Structure 1
Amino acid sequence: MSTTEDKAVRARWPVTLFGIALAVIGLVLTGGGAWLLVLGGSWYYLLAGLALLVAGVLYLQRRPAAVWVFALTALGTLAWAYWEVGASFWPLVPRLAPFLALGFVAALVQPRLSQSRSVAGAYGLAAVLAVGIAAGFGGMLSEHGVIEAKAAPQKVQDAAARPLADWTHYGYNAAGTRFVPTEQINKENVDALQVAWTYRTGEIAEGASEFQNTPSQIGDTVYVCTPLNKLVALDADSGAERWKFDPQVTDRKTWNRCRGVGYYEPAAVSQPFAFAEDAARQAVAATDEADATVAPAEAAGSPAAQACARRIVMTTIDARLLQIDADTGKLCEAFGKGGAVDLTTGLGKVDYDGVLWYYLTSAPTVVRNMIILGGWTFDGRSVDEPSGVIRAYSADTGELIWAWDMGQPEITKLPPEGGQYSRATPNVWSTPAFDEELGLIYLPTGNQQPDFWGGNRPETTEKHSSAVVALDIATGRERWTFQTVHHDIWDYDVASQPALYDIPDGKGGTLPALVQLTKRGQIFLLDRRDGKPLAEVVEKPVPQDVAEGDWVAKTQPYSTGMPALGTEPLTERDMWGATFFDQLACRIAFRKLNYQGEFTAPSLKPTLIYPGYYGGFNWGSAAVDEDRGYLFLNDIRIPQVVTLIPHSEIDESKLVAGHGVGSTYPMHGTPFVIDHAAFNSPLGIPCNAPPWGVFAAVDLQSRQLVWQRPAGTLEDVRLHGLNFHLPLPVGMPTLGGGVATASGLVFYAGTQDYYLRALDIESGKELWKGRLPVGGQASPMTYVSPKSGKQYVVIAAGGARQSPDRGDYVVAYTLPGTAQ
């Protein structure tokens, strides 16, 4: 081969490779686009695929027309993209980024096409496109979809009028507001926060365990419980271990959590109930008549009673209620039998081949001298699961005071001899709230088992499913019920703790409100006296298609008087991907699904559930800035795909009967099992466009969304085992909740990246973030040490939900120097 011929070959190969690449891309888009069109989807991919195929062939033939075909396709794509999603940054990325990259290559090979002499122009265009690519990548490092606050809030209350209290409840107080009236750490000095101490529990949150604990603080001691219910007392200033209690629970291999503990101090109870006076007589009678698990109360002033003047109340994942001396870490022997109450009494069968179907994961609710307990039942197992009964126990003796069995309301304590509480009733696995003045406890209820098929649910329990129920604290009898989903067959159970807050009534007074977040992204604002909406709620018609033997409600409640987050129905235009290939795959997958909105009933055809059974809003719950009347929120926007499969068509011995995505619920006693899958692209990225989680604030007085920002970044996210360490603020799904302070800060750590953040609640702007050793999914807490006068912010970090990095850390932050 001559030198001239050799140079000609070298000149042609970039054009040839580019032509082959365009032709292959065009073939893929043409085939996928034709399939999408048959499914009723967009014409774009078929037309663009054909155009790129033609352009590729023309490049292979070294014809100048190739440039024009490619350019027209790119311009058409730009117009189509803007028509579909406007100027929204993240939705534009998979639509336009491929053409920026291909255009850059096209400009570089242009001088080699048919011996073109426009070298300067071609390379100039390549430079412009390179700048565009760099600008696009730079744009990925910025927040998008931000809603900015338009004005600063006016204070509606004054934290200075309220004394600073210990953190004795899961949500700081019984009202569940997670608001601490302290201003020591504020907007001016928060950027100086530094690690004060770190404690390691010695129990890595691996396997079925997740470290979701919000510590408690009583006086100069911080109390932490691990997923396997080890309880640790730490010095509030140094983090030094004072004592450790191990209840010797067995790894349940299913759902190990301890989100919090309760606290009881008999001498501090201002309104004890009269039952404590004859607790010994009642306890003995209960033991004789129903094999109860409590013992007579110790006489006042006895050594056992004196030893437990301050008590930590803890439930365990093997269904025990314990009281531990807050000062020594030893069991309170006068409580129950040797310090423990068996919570399986009256439940009937709870153990199935060594697997418990009844767990206690959320913090017990201690009010006055009572302990109120619900429980978590294993999702989707059977129509014959343990009861969701709510029980109140004496905090003095462990005696059962009352029970609320929604299936058998005539039972007020233990079931009759030989009987049991109603099976598979809606449970309360999350945390109640309590109003001392009204004497009402507010229960967020789950949906009735087995979650996704309800053809045989009794009328007696239907009205209490996925609801807020108010019970009289003295009697355990129902006062009112507000249902957030009728006949819930989507696992839209109420996971968030209600928040109790008095909102201005516009007449110089206040209204006693209850704020209830839901997995649907709805926020219900209710009068906590009677459950009537304070913000408009409208019943809207929903799809009526349903699986054989089941039924759906004709309407469902929508809180139209309050903002809703992440609730817009998905469309094909909302499908996303890292490239236009997986975006096309997601569009095809979407078109094949059974989906008519959030109340599309599960069917034999794969069915899309969105917002999804993880939320919306989950157990992290809201934080209320009581001074400003702002509600701080964080959510999840990840849909799931479920499919009903007749029992007769599946080998149940091969079921992966786990929990959530990737498992199949056996749903024994129904016609079906139900399979769960993620709605992801072939690359493992969610098919719906970002954000997948946001931070937001709602003004409870104006009932308007004040601001919204993406929650966290991709910095610590792994995809197929690879971590690219890109801090792209797409907004990730979040667990845990926030804590607000009187200084106008919100602290939060439940993102997928490994940070504790401080946000300005007036604007949502990040003012500080501290790097954690692993991710955190617990809610943080804050306190002022009575010994040093310093404010600390504490977070349990055991690992983010989707991360393989696991730990056992409790990290406390404070300002340098001495307290001011």
Structure 2
Amino acid sequence: MSKIARLYAVVLLIIGAALTAGGLWLAALGGTPYYAIFGATLALAAVLALRNHRQANWVLVFALAGTVIWSLFEAGLRFWDLFPRLLAPIALVGLGLGLFPSIVSGNARRGFRLGAAACAIAFAAMFGLAFVPHPTVSAVAAADYSPGAGDNAPQDWTSYGASSAGLRYATYNKINRDNVATLKPAWTIRTGDMGPGIDQNTPLQIGDTLYSCTRNNVILALDPDTGATRWRFDPHAKAPFWQRCRSLGYYQSTTASGECQQRLIATTIDARLMALDARTGKLCPGFGNDGTVSLAEGMGPVKPGFYFQTSAPLVARNIIVIGGWVVDNEQTGEPSGVIRGFDVMTGKLVWAWDLGNPAITREPPPGQTYTRGTPNMWTTAAYDDKLGLIYVPLGNATPDYYGVQRKPWADRYNSTLVALDVTSGRERWKFQTVHHDLWDYDLPAQPALVNLRGNIPALLLSTKRGQLFLLNRATGQPLSRVVEKPVSSAGSMPGERMSPTQPYSVDMPVIAETLNERRMWGMTMFDQLACRISFRQSRYSGDFTPPGMTQSIEHPSNLGGLNWGSMSVDVPNNRVFMNDVRVPMTVRLMTRPEFTEFAKKNHPDGTGHGPSPQLGTPYGVNIQMWMTKLGVPCSRPPFGTITAVDLNTRKIAWQVPAGTAEELGPLGIKSHLPMPIGMPTYAGTSVTAGGLLFFAGSQDYYLRAYDTSDGKEVWRYRLPVGSSATPMTYISPKTGRQYVLVSVGGAAHSKDVGDYVIAFSIPQSK
């Protein structure tokens, strides 16, 4: 046997011994014995080869055959499940069959070398298939599905979701499936705001002007055909973290004239509410104090970074509806989650809804504050003007992961959608999606106001859990069956009021999956084994596994499921599009002394993510993405998808992986390999009557267009950096051209940042 073959046999022996040890560990924890068997078989083949025994190659053939059978039994034909199970074994066995044949002679030698060649071909084929999209749910033809007829008359995009209904739908079809391949940048601007923070802005379009805001609340008015800046307003807003502006509000008075008849409504990352003249960018003097209202009024003490606004304000009739972001998991008694309504012309407080003290209807009594520590709305509300109802998605009372000390009103309203009367701010109905939330399962997204067949006014509510709740928006009653199912409380903390059941939307699709050992993943079989061991060592009893003193797995995690990007709706077809995140978290509570020591080495950043103190409770918490040692999620791909749901059939029409691993990779090193594995997604989608769905939040620096009928990618454009913003589209009143516009400031988890706003259009013929 050659020196190279002997060296490989030694390497194979080491690999086999390591797999055997890890496999025995996994088997002792109750997991599959496969890894121990495969490792022992590799080690046996290596020993036989070192002894020049002719059976070495046959042992390798047996090992590979057993691996194929086991893999198909565990994973079926799901490609990304087979990838780590087969790729490394094919390589290991193929090398052995190619290096060890000198032990035998004649036909056997030729046969083993042919086997090595077959392994090489299989390895290349499997690696090549990693660059081919593998839909999670393939499209099923719908006989009654076709893009809308199209209305290309210019229409204003007046709020974050295009309108207060949150549909992100445009009736335009000048850019369509037939010509989208020719879509190119029409203009690009730089805002000058390079951070800190993340640019997540969806601009507004009102008449012949675009309005964009940057991560630090700088507002720009732009020409829609050239991007030229007409005015710029800098509020000089600062926050210690979480700098972002997702969009603006807009109001046009039907009674006033002149200055500030058209006004932009903006909130800031240091808790201010402002009204600006949309034509000049100057603060409206009759609004609040020279154009500004302090949102800290009535809140009591507010530490820097503990309360401010990141999402777009809602303008409903003449009322500006304001919630606020409250830092997670830092301490009890944080600033109130009060929802307030301000007069859009004067800035005066019209009403307040303090869910901890309904007796407060405007300012708190002298010497008091709005109830501290209540669930808050950090996302954007929706509004139905006909019903006069504002739909408020609430989060959780912080700290998120320990609820023994929570007040009764926190349990009544956490993770709850509340309908408020636009005139009075009083509660009309509520619907709770999680009881006694210990998982940070905030309602993160603006609901979509849809009309079902029979003209039934409905509301589709997306959740971090991946559950979709379909409600009558007049009454809050479910239009799709909701069932209370038993959940486990095993491992919960003493004194926790664990709910024995949780609500499940059983007749709607679920945009998430439960975990089991078979669904553990890794880029190779080695880190897959490590993840399987970690899974067996952790507590996991489904999507409501209680936090405790031993490590638990949270999936869907506090990232989602579905997050703040919200949904888009193909209105004529009642087809809804959404993008998700599929990255589990690990959660562990620690006693105060243990957390103090842990924090010395792990340095909490104060944002409530990662190690967090939960001051005011006996326990700190450590929350981390559950990753392999190579830095990829332990759950199987895709790690993010785009899904189309047919509201008429209430089934998934198609589901495809969102984006590639091109800009991410093991150990944080960019792979530059465009494998369409599906990455965690941020921001949201927008849809048009041209049969196109636009999306940019897939972390691999592309704006993409998908065919709304089947989810196939029909166009993409490489951006200078990634994007964490929802695209929008408009038609210029001046030129009649349709544009698709996206803010490009950097992808999540990427160090590459920018300050671009880019508009795309079909090139004009000369």
| TM-score range normalised by the length of the shorter chain | over 0.9
Aligned amino acid, residue 509 of structure 2: P
Instruction: Report the alpha carbon displacement of residue 580 of structure 1 after superposing the two structures with TM.
Output: 1.3
Answering whether residue 593 of structure 2 is matched by residue 648 of structure 1, we say yes
Maintained 8 Å contact 1:213/1:796: yes
Q: For 1:760-771, what aligned pairs fall within 5 Å after superposition?
A: 760-771=707-718
Per the alignment, do residues 202 and 323 of structure 1 end up closer, same or farther by CA in structure 2, a change over 3 Å counting? same
Deviations 1:685-707 (A, max 9, x none): 11111011111101111111111
Aligned amino acid, residue 725 of structure 1: H
Match of 2:270 among 318, 323, 337: 318
**CA–CA distance in structure 1, aligned partners of residues 308 and 8 of structure 2:** 60
Per the alignment, do residues 161 and 128 of structure 1 end up closer, same or farther by CA in structure 2, a change over 3 Å counting? closer
Match of 2:644 among 697, 717, 735: 697
Instruction: Report the alpha carbon displacement of residue 467 of structure 1 after superposing the two structures with TM.
Output: 1.1
Maintained 8 Å contact 1:774/1:800: yes
Aligned amino acid, residue 580 of structure 1: M
Deviations 1:765-813 (A, max 9, x none): 1111111111111100000011111111000011110111111111100
Aligned partner of 1:33 in structure 2 is 23
Instruction: Report the alpha carbon displacement of residue 611 of structure 1 after superposing the two structures with TM.
Output: 0.8
Instruction: Report the alpha carbon displacement of residue 599 of structure 1 after superposing the two structures with TM.
Output: 0.3
How big is the alpha-carbon RMSD for the aligned residues of Structure 1 and Structure 2? 1.8
Q: For 1:27-106, what aligned pairs fall within 5 Å after superposition?
A: 27-106=17-96
Per the alignment, do residues 661 and 28 of structure 1 end up closer, same or farther by CA in structure 2, a change over 3 Å counting? farther
Instruction: Report the alpha carbon displacement of residue 458 of structure 1 after superposing the two structures with TM.
Output: 1.7
TM-score, length-scaled by structure 1:
0.91
Deviations 1:282-324 (A, max 9, x none): xxxxxxxxxxxxxxxxxx66xxxx2212111100010000111
Aligned partner of 1:460 in structure 2 is 409
Answering whether residue 290 of structure 2 is matched by residue 344 of structure 1, we say no
Instruction: Report the alpha carbon displacement of residue 204 of structure 1 after superposing the two structures with TM.
Output: 1.3
**CA–CA distance in structure 1, aligned partners of residues 375 and 70 of structure 2:** 48
Aligned partner of 1:541 in structure 2 is 486
Aligned partner of 2:216 in structure 1 is 228
Answering whether residue 732 of structure 2 is matched by residue 796 of structure 1, we say no
Maintained 8 Å contact 2:632/2:665: no
Aligned partner of 1:218 in structure 2 is 206
Answering whether residue 543 of structure 2 is matched by residue 598 of structure 1, we say yes
Instruction: Report the alpha carbon displacement of residue 584 of structure 1 after superposing the two structures with TM.
Output: 0.7
Aligned partner of 2:240 in structure 1 is 253
Match of 1:778 among 714, 719, 725: 725
State which drifts further: 371-380 or 111-120: 111-120
Q: For 1:87-166, what aligned pairs fall within 5 Å after superposition?
A: 87-114=77-104, 118-152=108-142, 154=144, 164-166=154-156
Deviations 1:570-620 (A, max 9, x none): 111111111111111111111111111110110000110001000000000
Secondary structure of 2:36 counterpart = helix
Aligned partner of 1:484 in structure 2 is 433
Secondary structure of 1:650 counterpart = helix
Maintained 8 Å contact 2:152/2:172: no
**CA–CA distance in structure 1, aligned partners of residues 422 and 765 of structure 2:** 43
Aligned amino acid, residue 744 of structure 2: A
Per the alignment, do residues 522 and 660 of structure 1 end up closer, same or farther by CA in structure 2, a change over 3 Å counting? farther
**CA–CA distance in structure 2, aligned partners of residues 22 and 151 of structure 1:** 49
Maintained 8 Å contact 1:661/1:678: no
**CA–CA distance in structure 2, aligned partners of residues 172 and 408 of structure 1:** 34
Aligned partner of 1:242 in structure 2 is 230
Match of 1:520 among 465, 478, 492: 465
Secondary structure of 2:573 counterpart = coil
Aligned amino acid, residue 531 of structure 2: C
Aligned partner of 1:288 in structure 2 is none
Per the alignment, do residues 66 and 158 of structure 1 end up closer, same or farther by CA in structure 2, a change over 3 Å counting? closer
Instruction: Report the alpha carbon displacement of residue 718 of structure 1 after superposing the two structures with TM.
Output: 4.2
**CA–CA distance in structure 2, aligned partners of residues 314 and 813 of structure 1:** 26
**CA–CA distance in structure 2, aligned partners of residues 663 and 365 of structure 1:** 31
Secondary structure of 1:125 counterpart = helix
Answering whether residue 544 of structure 2 is matched by residue 557 of structure 1, we say no
Aligned partner of 1:622 in structure 2 is 567
Answering whether residue 755 of structure 2 is matched by residue 808 of structure 1, we say yes
Per the alignment, do residues 186 and 158 of structure 1 end up closer, same or farther by CA in structure 2, a change over 3 Å counting? closer
Answering whether residue 253 of structure 2 is matched by residue 266 of structure 1, we say yes
Match of 1:706 among 650, 653, 663: 653
State which drifts further: 313-322 or 35-44: 35-44
Per the alignment, do residues 346 and 217 of structure 1 end up closer, same or farther by CA in structure 2, a change over 3 Å counting? same
Aligned partner of 2:192 in structure 1 is 202
Instruction: Report the alpha carbon displacement of residue 69 of structure 1 after superposing the two structures with TM.
Output: 1.5
Match of 1:731 among 670, 674, 678: 678
State which drifts further: 541-550 or 478-487: 541-550
Aligned amino acid, residue 249 of structure 2: G
Answering whether residue 325 of structure 2 is matched by residue 373 of structure 1, we say no
Maintained 8 Å contact 1:790/1:818: no
**CA–CA distance in structure 1, aligned partners of residues 221 and 169 of structure 2:** 23
Aligned partner of 1:295 in structure 2 is none
Secondary structure of 1:767 counterpart = strand
Per the alignment, do residues 621 and 141 of structure 1 end up closer, same or farther by CA in structure 2, a change over 3 Å counting? same
Maintained 8 Å contact 1:797/1:808: yes
Per the alignment, do residues 514 and 157 of structure 1 end up closer, same or farther by CA in structure 2, a change over 3 Å counting? farther
5+ unaligned residues in a row in structure 1: which ranges?
1-10, 269-299
Which of structures 1 and 2 has the bigger CA Rg? 1
**CA–CA distance in structure 2, aligned partners of residues 778 and 325 of structure 1:** 25
Secondary structure of 2:588 counterpart = strand
Answering whether residue 344 of structure 2 is matched by residue 395 of structure 1, we say yes
**CA–CA distance in structure 2, aligned partners of residues 157 and 117 of structure 1:** 62
Q: For 1:576-615, what aligned pairs fall within 5 Å after superposition?
A: 576-615=521-560
Secondary structure of 2:45 counterpart = helix
Maintained 8 Å contact 1:18/1:59: no
Aligned amino acid, residue 515 of structure 2: L
**CA–CA distance in structure 1, aligned partners of residues 594 and 94 of structure 2:** 53
Instruction: Report the alpha carbon displacement of residue 123 of structure 1 after superposing the two structures with TM.
Output: 3.1
Instruction: Report the alpha carbon displacement of residue 74 of structure 1 after superposing the two structures with TM.
Output: 1.2
Answering whether residue 616 of structure 2 is matched by residue 669 of structure 1, we say yes
Per the alignment, do residues 347 and 438 of structure 1 end up closer, same or farther by CA in structure 2, a change over 3 Å counting? same
Deviations 1:19-76 (A, max 9, x none): 1122111110111111112211111111112111111111110101111212111111
Maintained 8 Å contact 1:718/1:803: no
Maintained 8 Å contact 1:640/1:661: no
**Matched length:** 763
Answering whether residue 311 of structure 2 is matched by residue 362 of structure 1, we say yes
State which drifts further: 805-814 or 662-671: 662-671
Per the alignment, do residues 35 and 157 of structure 1 end up closer, same or farther by CA in structure 2, a change over 3 Å counting? closer
Aligned partner of 1:285 in structure 2 is none
Instruction: State the identity as a percent.
Output: 47
Per the alignment, do residues 215 and 710 of structure 1 end up closer, same or farther by CA in structure 2, a change over 3 Å counting? same
Aligned partner of 1:292 in structure 2 is none
Maintained 8 Å contact 1:570/1:597: yes
Instruction: Report the alpha carbon displacement of residue 119 of structure 1 after superposing the two structures with TM.
Output: 4.6
Aligned amino acid, residue 632 of structure 2: I
Deviations 1:231-266 (A, max 9, x none): 11110100011111010112x231101000001111
Aligned partner of 2:520 in structure 1 is 575
5+ unaligned residues in a row in structure 2: which ranges?
none
**CA–CA distance in structure 2, aligned partners of residues 323 and 718 of structure 1:** 44
Per the alignment, do residues 764 and 583 of structure 1 end up closer, same or farther by CA in structure 2, a change over 3 Å counting? same
Aligned partner of 1:294 in structure 2 is none
TM-score, length-scaled by structure 2:
0.97
Per the alignment, do residues 727 and 203 of structure 1 end up closer, same or farther by CA in structure 2, a change over 3 Å counting? same
Secondary structure of 1:720 counterpart = helix
